[in-house]
Amino acid sequence: MTITQQDVELSELARGFLSREVHYLFIDGERVPAVSGNTLSTSAPSTGEVLARFSSGDSSDVDLAVAAARRAFKGEWSTWTPYQRQALLIRVAQVLDERFEELAQIEALDMGSPISRVRNSKQGLMRMLSFFAAQALSISGETLTNGIPGNVSTMTLKAPVGVIGGIIPWNGPLNSQFWIIGAVLASGCTTVLKPAQYASLSVLRVAEILHEAGVPAGVLNVVTGRGSEAGTALAAHTDVDRVAFTGSTETGQKIIEASTSNIKKLQLELGGKSADIICADANLDKAVPAAAMGVFANSGQVCYAGTRVLVQRSVVDQFTERLLEYMTTLRVGHSLDSAATLGPVISESQLDTVLSYVDVGVSEGAELLYGGERLGAGGGYYMQPTVFGSVTNQMRIAREEIFGPVLSIIPFDDIEDAIEIANDSDFGLGGAVWSENLSTALRVVQGVHTGTMWVNCYGYIDPLVGFSGTKLSGYGAKGTAAHMDTYLYTKSVYIQL
């Protein structure tokens, strides 16, 4: 397997943005350097070369950003009507539609995801913005009966909670930031975003573009830097009312601890080790490629990746043979190669981590059926997509989140066995079942303890339906009206008539 090369030329806008000497923080509608003057560099995963330098913010910068967000929350922004906020979201969607190719190129270079995958995510982003535009007009309370003697009327109101701290992962920041930005603009809250150190550029560029599109100064602020400095300061800040975080379970546990500073409510999407269950009657023409890309999409760097592929024992050999045939069709390449199926992983350290799990799998007795090695002679952080057979659910490669292109085939005997194996995990984020029998599929859906299940498909996400986790995969919905609860609080009202 060879590495394909770049064939997409950067647009003038993307090239101009990336050519800046330093990418500053975005606070109160302005690009500003970090108080300390410190900077960090980010490397392009496809080449290993320095792509850009950006300001390294810390607690001082977080203080400034939170203060700007608080002023905006109390200021003119608080007088905007739901119709005005909806109109702003519609305008934001129009501008992003026009500028998406620029943002896609920045994201692909900075994060390493293939440009074709980023482009394909545009439709999902537009749906998300449409959803939040609708939510802006759907915030309402209730008129309630009561048991109070006399003529007393009672009701509830929903109001924006205030300043939201948003901590964004590196595995797809261009779209994932809008789970926060969309809800902020719909609800009337304000936000300070802390993007991941490894992938900050698309978040900074979006902040600039949205300000140009009419988002008032201070409503959207971005502080880049190390998680241990800027991220920790944001999570613990006593003037941040809520925190939305997507990332590792370990970091999520630290954010829960930090939230006790002022008892913040949290929305947490954490790690996963999802089970993709292939029953004997599954349509393998569909199940094989979908199960493969349920792991290998974004080089395995997806929280709900179906890395535990449970296959009914009677079809394990057939499934494995067809999967290995499919593996030969995958192309690993530069993130700006329009034909690449997989790009690099995010960093050298992440590549080392994934490769170490290959060694662990072999040492535990799993059979390495495909891949398992670094691709190229250095430079980019490329890895062969990897398949293990003869895996048991007690092996580390079946229990720990690898966050790389590693698929484990785990045989099962019957549906009860599959459900038991799927549930034997600390995580509960996603999962799937493939069966032509609806009764079988629904038994699995009802039996597996996880936040999201797919039947005869994998990975669909729509804000109208929502997405959430359980167990060590976190809590708090993304999508549906429940998503907005993180950005609103309920006020009970009693009126003596």
Angle in degrees, CA 276, 279, 284, rounded to 5:
85
Task: Report the distance separating Cα 417 and Cα 12, nearest Å.
Answer: 56
Residue with tokens 């519609």: 90
Let me know the angle formed at the C-alpha of 195 by 8 and 429, rounded to the nearest 5 degrees: 95
Q: Which residue has the tokens 């269950």?
A: 277
Q: State the CB neighbour count (10 A cutoff) for residue 50.
A: 10
* Parallel/antiparallel/unpaired status of strands 454-455 and 406-412: unpaired
Please give the Cα distance from 450 to 266 (Å, whole number).
Answer: 19
Which residue of the set 102, 269, 279, 401 is catalytic? 269
Question: Which residues lie closer than 8 Å to 322 by C-beta, 6 or more apart?
Answer: 284, 288
Nearest by Cα to 181 from 322, 78, 69, 74: 69
269 part of the active site: yes
Please give the Cα distance from 172 to 9 (Å, whole number): 21
CB 336 within 8 A of CB 115: yes
- Which amino acid is located at 61 in the chain? D
In the set 107, 189, 229, 303, the catalytic residue is 303
Active site residues: 269, 303
